[in-house]
Amino acid sequence: MEKKPGFIAAWPERILSLHTTHSPSFLGLQQNIGLWKNSNYGKGVIIGVLDTGISPDHPSFSDEGMPPPPAKWKGKCESNFTTKCNNKLIGARTFPQANGSPIDDNGHGTHTASTIAGSFVKGANVFGNAIGTAVGIAPLAHLAIYKVCDSFGCSDSGVLSAMDAAIDDGVDILSLSLGGTTNPFHSDPIALGAYSATQRGILVSCSAGNNGPFESTVVNEAPWILTVGASTLDRKIKATLTLGNKEEFEGESAFHPKVSNNKFFPLFDPSENATDPDSDSDILFCGPGLTELSAVAKGKIVLCEVGGGFNRIEKGQAVKNAGGVGMILTNRPQDGSTKSADAHVLPALDVTSSDRNSITDYMKSTKNPVARITFQGTIIGDKNAPVVAAFSARGPSTASPGILKPDIIGPGVNILAAWHNSVENKTNTKSTFNIISGTSMSCPHLSGVAALLKSAHPKWSPSAIKSAIMTTADIVNLNNESFLSETLTPARIFAYGAGHVNPSRANDPGLVYDTQFKDYLPYLCGLNYSNREVGSLLQRKANCSKMKSIPEAQLNYPSFSISLGEKPQTYTRTVTNVGEAKSTYRVEIVSPRMVSVVVKPSILKFSKLNQKMTYRVTFSTTTEIRNMEVVHGYMKWTSNKHFVRSPIAVVLQEPETPDID
């Protein structure tokens, strides 16, 4: 082989066989079969991660069984870091360069990188919870780390220069679990960098943001980005609060005591001691000022509300410093049923806002309120999963309402992955993990899935990979019912987009909507950007008056998001056959309420692979609209082997009343 032209390298094949912590199996990824086998675990794909850096000595970044990076790789490890790099960790750089070393002193970047492509690590756990073998979604992919964030945040100039460097270095996928507020694309650094990356065939996967459940909070919403919202696994890390009146409340916590204690302790609510809510917010929210109340907090379980500028772990530390023996963390009303299983520094659990009301009612009803916290640990089998997380940012998109965002949801609540230090203060191990939540955690799951698809289908464009993920997504939970939101009522389409990722189905989508890069120009002109604004994205001169612009919904996108009044609207879509050469697809339509959806032709007959066919969709209202309302449905092309679903979101507009002079 070595004598043949074009030979680069060869090494003996090693078969990996281990089991995993939960999210890969929840996503249907299994050893030695299906997508993991077909994609060879993401082998040969390079993923660039823009984040807080990396902990290179963590066993998740061991390169056992890893081939060297592909010959096209031009990236580097900064001088003080060269000894830390290996065949797994093939690049590590900081932006701006003055920021020192790519070492992660936050944990976030280590967590996201190991979620994408961490190697198999046996016995991963936090306080014995969620124990199993930790592994990333694409365990044989290579990681290139671009540290763009420090304790102050992530500068957009740093993010943009890192994206430019990653493009030149030769990454295949870019993963960004960060973002600001929504901006027009021409002044959004992530959208600008992602546009150049997409042009070079690099898929960019970004978190949707954590400002849910309020509408129009989604960020990173450009159509050339895969925008990822967050949902739950079917795993809970359960703890129970029992009050003196025998009432029980189920919470979550990653803390687990070495010796279980069933003793009841007195309850203490610091908010009862806060005289001025403004100046006493430190006490109200269990900040460091809580030590002032140590005389009354000592030996008690303290009730703490989330928020106030202190994170959940800091609150527990404040309770511990004040002599408290436990903490009940209560969420805000908008958090609904979304709970955090945090690695607390003392016995603590997270309960809902409505539980707080019941607890305070009990405390008022008796002179000596008492409670106990017991820990049940890891429990699998929540049939409501996946539930959209309260914090997961919602559409509609502000920058481009005619593109449905987020695109997809994936696991982002209480995710176990690698951490830069031991949350249990263990000093004798590098195998340290933590459980955290956010769209920052769901984005790397999707970046990993994209890497698997890129490995299995090297010729697919970023938009083909994205389409495959979207049109094959699940739209029902494990109970086979519509997705629920954090209120445990049916979620709206602007919470989940095309649905929850189903990696094995995405590997064989049948048809893809392969958005042509050149179509973004008429789309940008259609957003009424000036020539100069369009030029800043193109990085060359643009003239919108010389070309026909298109409305947003006319972009060849796998989903529809339209604002519909009395006039019907017609759009075209083009699909490319990547399934069986000879195949016939028939359309099925689940129309949104009060909307008629007509598709012509209603049958697509393909005779060869990569053949393209175009269809037209006409949307019109079926009754007079009296109030503005969001309705949703979908259309689905079905052959005897595949289905290709496109979600439809419609904002119904009430007719404008004529002005009366």
The single residue of 22, 58, 104, 108 carrying the catalytic annotation is: 108
Sequence-distant (≥ 6) Cβ neighbours of residue 336 within 8 angstroms: 213, 352, 390, 485, 486, 487, 488
Residues forming a β-bridge with 614: 574
Catalytic annotation on 22? Answer: no
The single residue of 22, 23, 39, 51 carrying the catalytic annotation is: 51
Question: Cβ(617)–Cβ(571) under 8 Å?
Answer: yes
What is the number of helices (H) and of strands (E) in the chain?
A: 15, 29
Q: How far is residue 69's CA from residue 51's CA, in Å, rounded to a whole number?
A: 21
The single residue of 205, 340, 400, 440 carrying the catalytic annotation is: 440
Residues forming a β-bridge with 388: 231
DSSP per-residue letters across 56-78 = TTSGGG--TTPPPPPTT----B-
Q: Which has the closest alpha carbon to 111: 391, 420, 370?
A: 420
Residues forming a β-bridge with 575: 613
CB half-sphere exposure, 597, CA atoms < 13 A = 24
Q: How far is residue 572's CA from residue 574's CA, in Å, rounded to a whole number?
A: 7
Q: How far is residue 205's CA from residue 160's CA, in Å, rounded to a whole number?
A: 15
DSSP per-residue letters across 95-155 = SSGGG---B-SSSHHHHHHHHHHPPPEEEEEETTEEEEEE--SSTTSEEEEEE-EETTEE-
Does residue 601 have a cis bond before it (omega within 30 degrees)? yes
- Tokens 């699940």 belong to which residue? 474
Catalytic annotation on 108? Answer: yes
Q: Is 462 exposed, middle or buried (0-12, 13-18, 19+ CB in 10 A)?
A: buried
Buried b (16+ CB within 10 A) or exposed e, 17-41: eeebbbbbbbbebebeeebbebbbb
Q: Residue 321: what are its φ and ψ, rounded to 5°? A: -65, -30
**CA 419 to each of CA 60, 118, 370, 409, 424: distance values in angstroms, whole numbers, following the listed order:** 10, 12, 36, 23, 11
Bridge pairing between strands 153-154 and 149-150: antiparallel
Question: Cβ(600)–Cβ(567) under 8 Å?
Answer: no
Query: Which 8-state DSSP code applies to residue 30?
Result: -
The sheet carrying 595-600 orders its strands as: 511-512, 569-577, 612-621, 595-600
Sequence-distant (≥ 6) Cβ neighbours of residue 561 within 8 angstroms: 395, 396, 397, 401, 402, 403, 404, 405, 552, 553, 649
Question: Cβ(57)–Cβ(430) under 8 Å?
Answer: yes
Question: Cβ(432)–Cβ(581) under 8 Å?
Answer: no
Q: How far is residue 653's CA from residue 263's CA, in Å, rounded to a whole number?
A: 59
Catalytic annotation on 358? Answer: no
Any idea which residues carry the catalytic annotation?
Answer: 51, 108, 440
